[in-house]
């Protein structure tokens, strides 16, 4: 027990009050949430794109106390991400429970398309993917009709005859699904062509889910694209295969019409999923963003939870000028009156690498096929081989990442490294994409030990922004990156007491989705590279500590 406490320390305050929880329920880059309930247990899964392991799985008994229990795709034979851009890979999973078995359907973009995996226990192991080649599109989900014992696959696909009538014209399609043999039927039904109101040329109708409630089938979809104009819309039918009518009050969730200059805005809300509690309450999980200026955000799309109310037989998440809130009453206070969520609010996380396995919070760039890291060489250290691969390429570099989860935060690492040449570097990166990252590292210039700060350039190149000489020939150094939203500051220390500023006021918008593009958020990464040249060097990280400091959580 003592070893566990030293190896992993996560702390966060209680929720905003004894009867409230805070949003997001998963801070940081946890987009495209999907949820299911099995008995009294809730399970949630997110997109992971080109990060490995793929598809993080979370568990809760009260909808707000979440614990990560693993990843659905954690074996190389399940998931080949080599060569994928960081915003490609795994798109928009959906999780379902039926007759003792859990199902996840998802899309591996550019490689295999839609697939299904199954598990008796959501902790795993999950099966290898079964490819659904005849269902071409993205964002698949499964619906199981308990009354008929039939299953259906619903997904986003191309317009009829592949002829777009406007930019962003997409469709929602349905196939029956043989859940015993994991096969989608060859017959396809068109459910929605274009969106809720085709006279307005709606874009990117996607992320469909079907629910049967009070004898009627509800089809819920995202619409408007996954950026600022994102929304959630709903349709209804007496039959699973339609025809579906659009709710006159659509969208049932959006924030696109609100004042972007409001205090602590939540934007881009959409890509939702619904879940019912055992006592008949309904809740929605969905993605949203917390920008720091206008439409700039570095931490990507996060997972939010809000109550759902029913209006004239339709589920409504927000309407009118209603804002998504940071604090809501607890969904099930009878289960847990003082929930603690280590993924929400201003949490602190520290890992001392005393465990034989890395914590599930850590992620890699693409599939790990060679064991270039370990926690066994030196007790209490994460050891890494210094390898030629770089984060600017599309292979698997020596990179162990941790999501930036707050607009304002600090990440610190303790590093032991003795480079043999100028091309050998080890340290801490704040990484958004192959072309958008900063790298704070220990290296050499001539025969002098130095701390360097680089900014990425195209084609795996970097610009040196600043360097400082280390005193003596110190192998042990401490590196720190501080985010203030629009700017980052970079520090180093030789003793973890006196901190030296290397450079402050560095452009943070360079790492924002608005500038860098893509679907991911920024990730702090412990990273070592020899910049394309062979190396036999190793580096060791003694600990990593992360502290969130967002103003919105200081109000309560």
Could you please report the per-residue DSSP string of 252-281? SEE-TTS-TTSSS--EEEEEEEEEE-TTS-
- How far the first Cα of the chain sits from its last, in Å, is 33
- Tens digits of per-residue pLDDT, 193-219? 999 999 999 999 999 999 999 999 999
Higher pLDDT, 8 or 179: 179
Taking alpha carbons only, the member of 379, 349, 355, 304 closest to residue 524 is 349
Instruction: Give the C-alpha separation, 90 to 114, whole Å.
Output: 10
The pLDDT-based confidence of 458 (bands split at 50, 70, 90) is confident
pLDDT at 1 over 90: no
Of 275, 34, 251, which is closest to residue 140 (Cα–Cα)? 34
- Residue among 62, 74, 139, 206 flagged as catalytic: 206
Please check the confidence at residue 3 and state whether its pLDDT lies above 70: no
| Cα separation, 225 vs 231, whole angstroms | 8
206 is catalytic: yes
130 within 8 A of 120, measured Cβ to Cβ: no
Predicted confidence (pLDDT) at residue 489 exceeds the cutoff of 70: yes
Structure tokens at 11: 């702390």
**Domains delineated in the chain:** 30-329 (2.115.10.20), 348-554 (2.60.120.200)
Distance (Å, whole) CA 134 – CA 157: 12
Distance of CA 215 to the CA centre of its chain: 34
Q: Name, in order, each residue with C-beta under 8 angstroms of 21's C-beta and a sequence gap of 6 or more.
A: 15, 64, 305, 327, 328, 330, 331, 339, 341, 344
Tell me whether the omega of the peptide bond preceding residue 313 falls within 30 degrees of 0, making it cis: no
Q: Which two tokens stand for residue 443?
A: 């290296």
Whether pLDDT at 488 is above 60: yes
Residues 481-501 have a mean pLDDT of 96
Q: Which helix (H) or strand (E) holds 314?
A: strand 314-316
- Report how far residue 212's alpha carbon sits from residue 147's, in angstroms, rounded to the nearest whole number: 10
Residue 504 has pLDDT above 90, yes or no: yes
pLDDT value at 8 more than 50: no
How many CB atoms within 10 Å of residue 378?
14
The DSSP symbol for 26 reads B
The rounded mean pLDDT for the chain is 94
Residue 475 has pLDDT above 80, yes or no: no
Residue 509's H or E segment, with its range, is none
pLDDT at 335: 82
Per-residue pLDDT tens for 387-443?
A: 999 999 999 999 999 999 999 999 999 999 999 999 999 999 999 999 999 999 999
> What is d(CA 521, CA 301) in angstroms, rounded to the nearest whole number?
7
302 is catalytic: no
Within 12-125, strands assigned E span 20-22, 34-38, 41-45, 51-52, 54-60, 67-73, 90-98, 101-108, 113-119
pLDDT category at 19 given cuts 50, 70, 90 is confident
Q: Cα separation of 196 and 2, whole Å?
A: 57
Q: What percent of the chain has pLDDT over 70?
A: 96
Spatial neighbors of 236 by CB under 8 A, at least 6 apart, are 216, 217, 218, 219, 244, 245, 247, 313, 314
Is the four-CA dihedral 547, 551, 552, 556 of positive or negative sign? Answer: positive
pLDDT at 78: 98
- pLDDT at position 6 is 36
Minimal CA–CA distance to 319: which of 406, 252, 364, 258?
252
Residues 6+ apart with CB under 8 A from 115: 105, 106, 107, 108, 129, 130, 131, 132
Could you tell me which residues come within 8 angstroms of residue 425 by beta carbon, excluding any fewer than 6 positions away? 386, 419, 439, 441, 442, 443, 452, 528, 529, 530, 531
Q: Are 362 and 369 in contact (CB under 8 A)?
A: no
User: Residue 225: pLDDT band by 50, 70, 90 thresholds?
Assistant: very high
Give the pair of three-digit tokens for residue 473. Answer: 């020939």
Does the pLDDT at position 16 exceed 80?
A: no
pLDDT of residue 15: 43
**Residues 6 or more apart in contact with residue 263 via CB below 8 angstroms:** none
User: How far is it, in rounded angstroms, from Cα 540 to Cα 531?
Assistant: 18
| pTM reported for the whole predicted model | 0.95
Closest listed residue to residue 406, CA positions, set 193, 264, 255: 264
Contact 439, 429 (CB under 8 A): yes
If we measure between CA atoms, which residue out of 394, 277, 258, 391 comes closest to residue 331? Answer: 277
DSSP helix/strand/coil, 99: coil
**How far apart are alpha carbons 413 and 481 in whole angstroms?**
9
Q: String of b and e for 167-177 (b: at least 16 CB within 10 Å)?
A: ebbbbbbbbbb
pLDDT of 7 reads 43
Per the structure block, which two tokens stand in for 446? 């001539």
Compute the Cα dihedral for 125, 156, 319, 230 and give only its sign: positive
Q: And the tokens for 85? A: 């851009």
Catalytic residue among 32, 352, 389, 434: 32
CB atoms within 10 A of CB 385: 17
Band the pLDDT of 339: cuts 50, 70, 90: confident
Contacts of 477 (CB under 8 A, 6+ apart): 414, 415, 417, 442, 451, 470, 492, 493, 494
pLDDT tens digits for 346-402?
999 999 999 989 999 999 999 999 999 999 999 999 999 999 999 999 999 999 999
């Amino acid at each position: 027990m003592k070893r566990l406490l030293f190896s992993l320390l996560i702390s966060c305050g209680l929720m905003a009050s004894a009867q409230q929880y805070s949003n997001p329920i998963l801070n940081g880059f946890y987009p495209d949430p999907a949820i299911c309930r099995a008995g009294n247990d809730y399970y949630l899964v997110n997109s992971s794109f080109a990060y490995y392991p793929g598809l993080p799985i979370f568990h809760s008994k009260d909808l707000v106390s979440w614990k990560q229990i693993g990843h659905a795709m954690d074996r190389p034979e399940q998931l080949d991400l080599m060569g994928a851009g960081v915003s490609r890979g795994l798109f928009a999973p959906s999780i379902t429970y039926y007759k003792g078995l859990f199902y996840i359907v998802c899309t591996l973009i550019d490689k295999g398309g839609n697939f299904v995996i199954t598990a008796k226990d959501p902790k795993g192991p999950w099966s290898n993917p079964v490819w659904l080649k005849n269902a071409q599109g993205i964002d698949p989900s499964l619906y199981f009709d308990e009354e008929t014992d039939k299953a259906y696959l619903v997904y986003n696909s191309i317009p009829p005859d592949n002829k777009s009538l406007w930019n962003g014209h997409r469709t929602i399609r349905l196939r029956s699904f043989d859940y015993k043999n994991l096969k989608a039927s060859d017959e396809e039904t068109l459910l929605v062509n274009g969106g809720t109101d085709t006279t307005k040329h709606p874009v990117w109708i996607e992320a469909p889910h079907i629910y049967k409630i009070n004898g009627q089938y509800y089809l819920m979809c995202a619409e408007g694209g996954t950026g600022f104009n994102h929304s959630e819309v709903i349709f209804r039918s007496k039959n699973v295969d339609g025809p579906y009518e659009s709710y006159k009050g659509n969208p049932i969730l959006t924030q696109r019409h609100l004042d972007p200059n409001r205090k602590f805005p939540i934007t881009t809300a959409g890509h939702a999923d619904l879940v019912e509690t055992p006592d008949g309450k309904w809740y929605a999980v969905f993605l949203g963003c917390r920008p720091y200026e206008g439409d700039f955000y570095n931490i990507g799309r996060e997972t939010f939870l809000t109550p759902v109310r029913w209006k004239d037989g339709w589920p409504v998440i927000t309407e009118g000028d209603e804002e998504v809130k940071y604090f809501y009453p607890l969904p099930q206070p009878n289960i847990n009156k003082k929930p603690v969520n280590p993924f929400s609010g201003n949490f602190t996380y520290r890992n001392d690498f005393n465990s034989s396995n890395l914590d599930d919070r850590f992620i890699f760039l693409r599939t790990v096929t060679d064991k270039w890291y370990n926690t066994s060489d030196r007790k209490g250290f994460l050891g890494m081989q210094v390898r030629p691969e770089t984060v600017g390429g599309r292979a698997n570099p020596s990179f162990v990442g941790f999501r930036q989860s707050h607009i304002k935060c600090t990440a610190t690492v303790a590093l032991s490294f003795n480079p043999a040449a100028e091309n050998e570097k080890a340290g801490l990166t704040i990484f958004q994409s192959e072309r958008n990252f900063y790298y704070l590292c220990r290296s050499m210039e001539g025969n002098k030990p130095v701390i360097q700060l680089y900014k990425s350039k195209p084609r795996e190149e970097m610009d040196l922004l600043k360097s400082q000489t280390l005193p003596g020939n110190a192998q042990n150094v401490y590196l720190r990156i501080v985010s203030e939203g629009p700017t980052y500051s970079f520090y180093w220390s030789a003793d973890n007491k006196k901190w030296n500023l290397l450079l402050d006021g560095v452009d943070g918008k360079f790492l924002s989705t608005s500038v860098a593009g893509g679907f991911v958020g920024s990730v702090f990464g412990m990273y070592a590279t020899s910049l394309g040249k062979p190396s036999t060097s190793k580096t060791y990280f003694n600990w990593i500590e992360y502290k969130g400091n967002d103003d919105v959580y200081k109000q309560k």
